[in-house]
Amino acid sequence: MTIRHLLIIATLLMLALGACDGEEAAPSTTVPAVSTSSAPEVTTTIATATTPGGARERSVQQVQCGDAPESVAIVCEVYDLIKTHYVDEIDDATLADAATDGLEELDGADRDQPLVCPLPAAEFAEACRVAGAEADDSEQAARAMVEGVALNALDANSVYLDSQALSLLQEEQEGEIEGIGALVSPEDRTKEEGNRQCSIISDTCRIYIVSTIEGAPAQAVGLQRDDVLIQVDGQSIIGWSIDAVTAAVRGPAGTEVDLTLERDGELVEVSITREAVLIPILESEIYGDTGYIKLSVFTQSADEQFEEALVELLAADIDRLVVDLRNNPGGLLDTAIEITSAFLPDGEVVITEGPDANVTYEVTGASIVPEEVGVVFIVNKGSASASEVVSATLQERGRATVVGENTFGKNTVQQRFNLSDGGALKLTIARWLTPGGLDFGGVGVTPDVPLSIDDDLEGEALVEEILAAT
């Protein structure tokens, strides 16, 4: 007997740090009108801009947020969102320094027309001076400041999405993405301890291939786990954000993208024709008296499909259930709660802690798996986010044995806030903990039974190996 459910999601690089954008605590939110700050109403500074005609003095108007024109209002909007909703408190000097860093990434001003620069706090005055020297116009300066803040002051899962990047993300959520079909992880593996996640590609922050999707172009050309992405279409990705890499690799089906990868110390060149990739949400089988469910992503309908598969397996009078969450990057927190509730008759699933509120999520009371049915969860490095919520909580309650390798270690909740420039800020607003207070951020869920499992091992052979190990 086979139950197989498919969701047509054309995908590019499904980032393990939450590209599903799944654990939003609330829907996307439009930013309200920006607040005023205690900065001076209008201050004019003089910056030296190097233009094609030589070095010239340039006037920069520093304006209070309440007086900022719409073209630069995103600086104040992002500042207010961070101050109000970000999971950690960040002082104004740190935010201003990050904005300055973003401006210094520009190539230098080619124009000397007056520039308008908003001051969400007095500490941003130096950033405005640098804007006059580095930015061509006010809008470019505002975007650079926002990108600098998001990349340099916030965690790796918080990101500024310009209108193009936001459109790509929305396409992914609607299941209309076309790309290569690979799961990746941006990490700094020079760190011996703690969270290795990173957001700007450098000599130490590198993009590693975690896995490829069955039948996808990335698998067809032989991309392998731990391949490191070095170049896209002949361009080095050093200094790029994760979203910039995503945008460069993604493209219409039928078009090609050339990738340079590092594998075992050698460079490998591959040319990949992009396609629409089908991702199976869930599949299930029965092997003797053992039921098997493979869940690929926590979509909005995944909990219903999971319950349907469970009901059919339980009707066959199984003694054991193996749930495969390998390379599942996560998804909706609500779906994770529903799936956890299938195994627990009472109690809590997860606790989120953030500046807005600390929230405890309890099971729904819809437990359907009998206590006498043994449960095993399989996880690996690609199991992230919602996958970790479910496996960690069931492990803590003693309801499931976790087998495999340490999971990814994403313990944060993001919410997307729309901005006035047509883009958005995806902001970490909370961290999750198990009901027992355990935080697996950066470290991941530690399996009860450590086991190295071949990524290609599937079906009955996989179930036999798991049962032999437990």
Q: Please report which confidence band the pLDDT of residue 347 belongs to, taking 50, 70 and 90 as the band edges.
A: very high
Decide: 305 and 313 in contact? Cβ < 8 Å. Answer: no
Percentage of the residues of the chain whose pLDDT score is greater than 70: 85
- 15-42: per-residue pLDDT in tens? 322 333 334 433 455 554 444 344 445 5
3-state secondary structure 122-160: HHHHHHHHHHHHHCCCHHHHHHHHHHHHHHHCCCCCCEE
The backbone torsions φ and ψ at residue 63, rounded to the nearest 5 degrees and listed phi first, read -120, 150
The amino acid present at 321, given as its one-letter code, is L
Q: How many CA atoms lie within 13 A of 69 on its CB side?
A: 9
Q: Is the alpha carbon torsion for 316, 284, 368, 409 positive or negative?
A: positive
Q: Which residues contact 17 (CB under 8 A, 6 or more apart)?
A: 156, 157, 185, 186, 197, 242, 384, 408, 410
Q: Please report which confidence band the pLDDT of residue 456 belongs to, taking 50, 70 and 90 as the band edges.
A: confident
The full set of domains in the chain, from first to last, is: 29-156 (no CATH), 185-276 (2.30.42.10), 280-409+444-469 (3.90.226.10)
Q: Which pLDDT value is given to residue 24?
A: 42
Q: Please report which confidence band the pLDDT of residue 305 belongs to, taking 50, 70 and 90 as the band edges.
A: very high
Q: Which pLDDT value is given to residue 11?
A: 29
Residue 6 has pLDDT above 80, yes or no: no
Q: Average the pLDDT over each of 125-139, 200-214, 251-265 and give the range with the smallest value.
A: 200-214
Decide: 229 and 244 in contact? Cβ < 8 Å. Answer: no
- 249-258: per-residue pLDDT in tens? 988 899 999 9
Helix (H, G, I), strand (E, B) or coil at 310: helix
Q: Please report which confidence band the pLDDT of residue 279 belongs to, taking 50, 70 and 90 as the band edges.
A: low
Q: Which two tokens stand for residue 376?
A: 């095993």
